[in-house]
Structure formats: structure tokens, C-alpha cells
Amino acid sequence: MQHFSERLIRWQKQHGRHDLPWQGESAYRIWLSEIMLQQTQVATVIPYYLRFVASFSDIAALAAATEEQVLAHWSGLGYYARGRNLHKTAKLIMERHGGEFPHDFEQLLALPGIGRSTAAAICALAWNERCAILDGNVKRVLARHRGVEGWTGGRQTEQQLWALAESLLPERSADIYTQALMDLGAMVCTRSRPQCAACPVREDCVALSSSRVDQLPAARPRKTVPEREATFLLLLQGEEIMLERRPPHGVWGGLWCMPQIQAGEEGAYLSRHGFRVGRRVELAAFSHTFTHFRLHIRPVLLELQNRPLLAEQSGAEWMKREDALHAALPSPVRRLLRDLQQRPVGD
């Protein structure tokens, strides 16, 4: 039987993905794709990637952009620290490396937002260097094939998987092998309904031979997700809406949002800022799930009779509804603005 890596390389050449827009591109573009693909599926990433490189074609262009411009392109992709770290890293590469993407693994690790697996993927895919990756898909493939017990995010299990990933590296064709691992996890050895009959390494897969494909890898230990509530105020005057830019760190850092208050604070907020309300409409509530909590959002539309000078005091701005959709927005705010576009003024 051929070595694990040899079977994967042969399979990738025949059945793997060869038309992803970042394949065969520069280290810069491979890096962009790897950051975008963290916690996000390929189908979702592709249109964001294409828009991103159309505006920021190289490191110099990204470094020269404002954070606002970068986050506007990232808006809707989630995990916004990734976008901020992209911008920081581009600036550092311009300052420290003369605009050249560093080839050294350790230098890559020193850059914001680049961890061990991402650095390895860049080295392998851009320069065919012999480096092991261990993203979520690869963890699942290795855990099933070698029968690794335990939750793959646990420290001990992850260390075991890293050792396994290093041991399976081929002497040559690291770029093809790395892409094969990614493709196998995304296309065949999927979380649910894996296509075991199409797997090139099924003959010695421990999970398949022991009928534990649906049990490996072990599920993440369940814990209660905290529930939070907030009221979003859609402050309108004619065709304009007021948005506030959030602090640079924390949830939705640096993004534009409606004023967010707790239940019972609406009257005090309006009075404090001198707003006079002509009409008030409670919109349909909905929820948004973060990694560590679930936020229940209660939107309230308020048509105002006046517009106090609030922007200078709080970092808020009045924007036309259409223009606001092009700002750097978190997904729930973009959803509310799009719904608002369907509502004529005065409705």
C-alpha cells in the first residue's frame, strides 16, 4: 500500500480543486485567502476575496488603505479582528520587510493574525516548503484516519495531531499534499455525510474499519451559551440614519452600528441627547450568535423631528441610507439597513 501522502497527492491531481482564485498566486494572495478561510467556508470567501484583491491588489495597496476601507470590504465576513490584523500585517511588511512577503516561517509567526497552521500553509502553498498544517478540516481527516480520540481542540489531542501531521509530510510536493489535505476534508471527509467510498485512504482508515466515522473526531464538550439582549435604535431623519463607530477593540471593533442600549434605557437616551421623536415603530426582533454568546436584538425605528449636534460628541455620523450600506458594518446592522431600504420613508 502506498504511503498516506502519496495516495493523497495522486488523488488531488485527479479529483482535487484546481480552480480556486488564489491557487498558484503570490504569497500575498495565498495569505489573504488563508485568513479569510479561518472559520469560513470557501463558497462564502470567494466573492469577498475577489472584491478584496480588486481593491487591494498587493501589500502596498493594502497598507496604504485606511482601516475603515479594509473593514468595509470585510463587512459581513465576521470575526473582524482578522480584517484588522490583515491591515496591521500589511503595514508591518512594508515597514520591516520592504514590502516583500517574508519567506521565513518564524518571521511569519511574528505577524498579527498568523498562527502555526496559517504560516505553514503559506510556506507550503506559496513556496512548496515542507511544513505541516492543522486546520479544522485536517484535524478531522487525521482523527478519523488514525483513530485519534478526544476533542481536537483540546491541548493534548491537538499536540497528538500536530505530531501526526508532521510525521506524514512527504519529502516532495508539499504544495500538492497540503492542498490535498484541505480538499479531502472539504469535499470527502466532511463533518456530516462523508463520502467514504470516494476516499483515497479508506483502506486503512481506523474510523471506517471500526464503524466510528460518525463518532470521530469527538464533539466539542457542550457548554451553555450565555444569552444577552440589546435594543438597537434606528434614528432616522428623512433619508439619513445615525450610526456610531464602535471602539477599536472588542465586539465589532471599529465598525459602524446603531446606538445600542439596554431595555428601559430608551427614554433616558433620547432625553440625554435632546432627540424629539415624531414616530416610533418596534421592528421584528432577531438573534445573532457570536462564538461565546448569543445576542437577542430588539430594533426600534425612531423618526426624529430634530437633529442635535451629536456627531462631535460621540463619534456618530448621519449617513444616507444607501451610503450607509457601503460602510464597515457588522452583519446584523447590514441586515437592518437592507430591510430599511425596502421601507419607504414615512412607512
Alpha carbon distance 244, 261 (integer Å): 12
Tell me which residue has cell 491537538: 158
Tell me which residue has cell 505530531: 163
Distance linking the first and last C-alpha atoms of the chain: 70
Task: Give 297's DSSP letter.
Answer: E
Choosing from 6, 25, 34, 68, the catalytic residue is: 34
Evaluate whether 74 touches 333 at the Cβ level (below 8 Å): no
Cα 321 to Cα 36, 51, 55, 81, 344: the distances in Å are 28, 22, 23, 26, 11
Alpha carbon distance 320, 332 (integer Å): 18
Alpha carbon distance 280, 130 (integer Å): 62
Percent of the chain that is helix, strand, coil (3-state, to 5): 45, 15, 40
Q: What is the C-alpha radius of gyration for the chain, rounded to an integer number of angstroms?
A: 24
Longest CA–CA separation in the chain, Å? 77
- In the annotation, is 34 catalytic? yes
Residues classed as catalytic: 34
